[in-house]
Chains A and B, each alone.
Chain A
Amino acid sequence: MPSTEELQALVAANTWSALLPEILLGVLALALLAVDAFAPRRQPQTLLAAMVGQAAILAWLLFAVFTAEAGEARVYFAGSVVQTALSDWMRIFFVTCSLFTTHLALVYLRNREYPRVEYIHVSLVVTASFMLLVQSGNFLLFFVALETLTIGFYVLVAFARTSRFSLEAGLKYLVMGGFSSGILLFGIALLYGVAGNPLLPATAVDPLNFIELGAFIGAVGIDGANAAHPLVIAGSLLVLTGVLFKVGAVPFQIWVPDVYQGAPTPTTAALAVASKAGGFFVLFILLSGPFLALESLLFPVLAGVTAVTLVFGNIAPLGQQNVKRIMGLSGVAHAGVLLLGMLAAYQVPWAFHAVLFYLLVYAIASFAVFEVMAHLAPDEDADQDISHYRGLLKRHPLLGSALVIGLGSLAGIPPLAGFIAKVLIFVAAFQAGLYTLLAVAILGVVISIYYYFGWMRAAVLRELVDDGESGREPLRVTIPTKVILVALALITVVGGIFQAGLTKLVGLS
């Protein structure tokens, strides 16, 4: 039992106000459930309130960031919560993702007989967990936040419970996710055990704390460096495995195509954007914090993972006709490019800001594509074929051009923002001297143009074939959707020519 003074110090460190946005998201999620249970007829208003509530939280976070003075990291809850300028931006990123996911969910659930409010509820809880994850300062909060969001994703992936594909995806994600969580937890336990060993130099009092763990791993004793201890090596590699699973890097990508295809489109979007961004930010926290002294071990491992991820991610989508599988497998390729940026960050300090910029641009382009996908999806959401996109530009010019701009940005075509994002990461990799990986990445981009353009070709060049199937009724595109699509496309185009605003957002100047 800790002493009274220690307990009082712990209580005094519980600055709940620092986590108010997350708490409010949780309260909003609970309130949605309660209101829906008592007033099910008021569902349209409830859903609107969900959007407005998220927008209010987003506005508040933006206001807080712009009025805050730049300064040191803020540490709360006795080191569990560490807020930095970067983590503040990630919180805004996740709330924005949540808004887009909510909108996608409303489009997706429009003609389907699934519960609506519950989807938004789980999505909000997942968002709050993402926000906690990027602020975690010890493995306890890290793991709890990661598990909360993973369990939320299990529900969201299997949400279309009358679809065999969704159930298959849910089961696969559950089994693979549970496995990776187990590996991650085992790694944490090994690190906890070895860092608490009093026989080793610089024993940590609280081995779960990132700073103390980093100090322990960096310490060198008479018998050699702690970084060379077999348990440290095993533990850090296992933790890394758990995180690489989340971002879908090879060889932990096996779940990606099936889960992306089977999951409802809004869930696929959240997995592709928020889950990937969260994974990379966590990777950054780990590599620049507790695992900093392990560079000589982790660098070759990550370099190998990057190489195979780039090769696999660009070759695997070549034969695919299902657009959700293409998004999933090409997401693996994007993870490869982002990993390249993470490796460059070892040598070049601004490389991680380039990674954040890439994530931002990737999110904007992906949401534009997913919005179009949600509108074109047939009744069985998993059967989204390239052939459904034939003649889209003529059938609905706005959807068609948003798709082309989004895909062009994902492929990295010059006038669009995606090109600048790729160039920034490649320049960072060049400055860091990663020439071989850079060559693989550039080759990958060339290959990726093939499958992105195959999709675009269907939308732009191919004529609409009237075969009487796959629902040729006019597409219902509401005015808010049009505004969102135009905004996303505009940011992508303008971001390719003039980046000052976007680069400033991620601290890159």
Chain B
Amino acid sequence: MLTDYLPVLIQIGLAVFFAVAILGFSHLMGQRARTNSLKDSAYECGMLPEGRAGARFSVKFYLVAMLFIIFDIEVVFLIPWVLVYRDFLSQNLPILFPVLFFILVLVVGLIYELKKGVLEWDK
């Protein structure tokens, strides 16, 4: 039972060991860098850094990202569906219409988005 998980334990041990070892050795043996406020500031080709580091993105990027996720999830559902499609059909189990309904719901959402102009980039 528990011994099956021994490789996992070894893996965790190795990971912790390497992390501690690398940080520890570079701390002990590496050269200490000289720091001051000028050295720590961001290097902008000699210019003084201006503005905020966090730039704001247009909301359109997020909408496209959401669309991507929706279709991604659709694919996640459709791949196992394709794999069992023949088996289900041969055993006379309903498989086509439940999935068509699922796709219908997605398509209604997609049409709604198209009509609302989500994909018109320069609007």
Contact = CB atoms under 8 A, between A and B. Distances in A.
B116 interface: yes
In terms of DSSP, what is the predominant structure of the interface of chain A? helix
Interface stretch (A33-41, A132-140, A431-439): A33-41
A8 B108 contact: no
B93 A34 contact: no
B81 interface: no
A140 to B, nearest CB: 16
Contacts of A33: 108-109, 112
Contacts of B88: 7
Given A37-B111, A37-B112, A37-B116, A30 B105 contact: yes
B115 interface: yes
A38 B94 contact: no
A11 B94 contact: yes
Contact of B115 (A11, A30, A38): A38
Contacts of A7: 88, 91, 93
Contacts of A34: 108, 111-112
Contacts of B87: 1
- B interface, size bucket: 10 to 19
Contacts, number: 24
B118 to A, nearest CB: 11
Nearest to A33: B112
Interface in A23-60: 30, 33-34, 36-38
Contact of B108 (A1, A4, A11, A30): A30
Interface residues of A, number: 11
Contact of B91 (A8, A30, A36): A8
A30 B107 CA distance: 11
A11 B87 CA distance: 15
A1 B88 CA distance: 11
A8 B90 CA distance: 12
A34 B116 CA distance: 10
B13 to A, nearest CB: 24
Which of A1, A4, A8, A36: most chain B Cβ within 10 A? A4
Interface of B: 87-88, 91, 93-94, 105, 108-109, 111-112, 115-116
14 contacts: A1-B87, A4-B93, A7-B88, A8-B91, A8-B93, A11-B94, A30-B105, A33-B112, A34-B108, A34-B111, A34-B112, A37-B111, A37-B112, A37-B116
Given A30-B105, A30-B108, A37-B111, 16 more contacts: A1-B87, A4-B91, A7-B88, A7-B91, A7-B93, A8-B91, A8-B93, A11-B93, A33-B109, A33-B112, A34-B108, A34-B112, A37-B112, A37-B115, A37-B116, A38-B115
Top 5 nearest A-B pairs (CB, nearest first) are A37-B115, A37-B112, A33-B112, A4-B91, A30-B108
